[in-house]
Structures are given as structure tokens and as C-alpha cells.
Amino acid sequence: MSDQAHFARALLYAELDVPAELCTWNQSDPAVRFAVYRNNVVVSRTDALADTFPVTQALVGKEFFRAMARVFLQANPVKTRVLTWLGARFADFVEAFPPACTLPYLADVARLEMLRVCAYHAADAQPIALQTLGQALADPDALSDLKLTLHPSAHLLQSPHAVWSLWAAHQDLLSIETVDPELAQTVLVFRRNLDVEVLNVSLAEGHFLMQLMAGAGLALAADAAVEHDQRFDLGAFMATLIRLQLITRISNGDMTP
């Protein structure tokens, strides 16, 4: 192991010896100085994770969360200088973390919180002009070939658990006592202006959005939604997407308006 790699591991593992090559300018004990640095590194990274995953922390308690975060940091050496992305793999870790197995919804709650970070930092894009959209939708013969591009901040999470309700309960939007964690929910996360919004959508609406995000045409996406729920209302949901300013581009095959 290189000196640099040993130094990095020693920062996270208190049981490892202080790197032998360390020295101090004033002849003070390098071990004492290194311990302070080690503590600052661990605490700052744990604090960053807690800031990114406040609901996840609330669901398990601060002590459990910080212990879990430390194990995560040891197992996932930092590969970015930007603490914002420190938790990019945290949800996958939580899903496989044995002490958290009694809370099967916890990983998806963490995924939702990370998607909020992704949405906040996503590129910006102007919503499509209503006149342009209206002209494209006015031709019924061309509808089946139309493809919609959603805002870059739009992310979808389909979960077998009540992730939106669990998140919303910690925003004082509803009472935690009313939440059934085993209720499957689909969540659309996006940024409108400077605010990240979290929208609970139906399973059919989720399949419609998933198809659009995968590049499917409007007709195929609508068929996928209807397959899951005959009550899916394409017109009403399109109106919702327009109101939320989520449609940024519309195309017909290879042609761009």
C-alpha cells in the first residue's frame, strides 16, 4: 500500500497506526495532531451525509445514523472533492446494511433524498412555449410520433414503499401516524425555478413518465400507462406537466420544431 493510501485509510480507521512519515514543525506529538485531523475529517463528512439525508436520519435516530455513516465512509473511500456528492452510493449501502434490514423502506427514502440533491444541481432548461406545444398537439395524425423531453432535473422513483408519505410526514405535510410504509408509491422529483418539488404520482403516471424518459413516443408512453390503469387520463396529466413547466422540447421523429 502506498504512503498516500495508508494516510487516507488511517483517517477513517482509528485502530490503524499513524503514518510513520508524519512529523511536526514544533516537535509536538504527530499522533495527537493526526487525531485532531482524523476527527475533523470524519465529523465533517458525517455531518455532510446528515445534511443530505435528514429524513433518513430522523427515521433511525441520530446515533444509529452516524454509526451507519461511519461504516459507509470506511467502505466507500471518497472519490470527489465535492461533499454534495458524498452520498451518491449511500442508498445502495443502506439497502445492504444488515442492522437496517428491519426498515426495508429506509434505502428508498435515502434514494428520494439524494434525488432531491440531483434535481437541485441539475442543468437548467426553459419550458417549451405553449404556442409551440399547442401546434404540435393540434395534429391528431402526428400525435403517435411525438416525443417529449422533460426538464433535466426530473427524476422518477418507483418504490414498493410509501416513500413520499414518509418524506412528507417529516415536512409536516401529513401525520406520521397515518403512513402505511407498505403502500407502494411513485415519486417525481424536479426543480421549478430554484425550488425542488416532490410530487406523488400514480403508478400509471409513473410508467408514462418512465417511457418518456427512456425516449418513447407519446403514444407508446400512454399505452404503457393505460396498461397499468385504464383510468389514466392523458390530457389531464399532460396539463399537469405543462403547469409544472416540465416539458422543455417536443419533436416528431428526427425533426425538431
Section 171-189 average pLDDT:
96
Shared domain for 231 and 121, answered yes or no, is yes
Q: Please, which pLDDT band fits residue 75 given cuts at 50, 70 and 90?
A: confident
Section 6-23 average pLDDT:
60
Q: Rounded distance, CA 205 to CA 85, Å? A: 29
Residue 111 lies in a domain: no
Shared domain for 53 and 129, answered yes or no, is no
Shared domain for 125 and 91, answered yes or no, is no
Write down the residue that cell numbers 426538464 correspond to. Answer: 151
The residue from 79, 103, 127 where one domain ends is 103
pLDDT at residue 255 tops 50: no
> Angle at which helices 106-121 and 30-52 pack, to 10 degrees?
90
Q: Rounded distance, CA 113 to CA 115, Å? A: 5
Task: With H, G, I as helix, E, B as strand and everything else as coil, classify residue 105.
Answer: coil
Shared domain for 98 and 120, answered yes or no, is no
The residue from 82, 103, 124 where one domain ends is 103
Shared domain for 120 and 240, answered yes or no, is yes
Q: Which of 103-107, 140-144, 193-197 has the lowest mean pLDDT?
A: 140-144
Q: Which of 35-44, 157-166, 207-216 has the lowest mean pLDDT?
A: 35-44
Question: pLDDT tens across 211-248, in order?
Answer: 999 999 999 999 999 999 999 999 999 999 999 999 99
115: which residues sit within 8 A by CB, 6+ positions away? 155, 157, 187, 189
Shared domain for 90 and 127, answered yes or no, is no
Residue 198 lies in a domain: yes
Shared domain for 139 and 29, answered yes or no, is no
Q: Please, which pLDDT band fits residue 257 given cuts at 50, 70 and 90?
A: very low
Q: Residues of the chain with pLDDT > 90: what percent?
A: 68
Model pLDDT, residue 137: 82
Shared domain for 121 and 84, answered yes or no, is no
The residue from 69, 103, 137 where one domain ends is 103
Shared domain for 237 and 128, answered yes or no, is yes
Shared domain for 121 and 241, answered yes or no, is yes
Shared domain for 148 and 23, answered yes or no, is no
Cβ atoms 136, 157 nearer than 8 A: no
Model pLDDT, residue 135: 87
Residue 45 lies in a domain: yes
Q: Please, which pLDDT band fits residue 94 given cuts at 50, 70 and 90?
A: very high
> How many residues comprise the chain?
257
Q: How many domains does the chain have?
A: 2
Shared domain for 85 and 28, answered yes or no, is yes
Model pLDDT, residue 83: 83
Domain that holds residue 214: 116-257
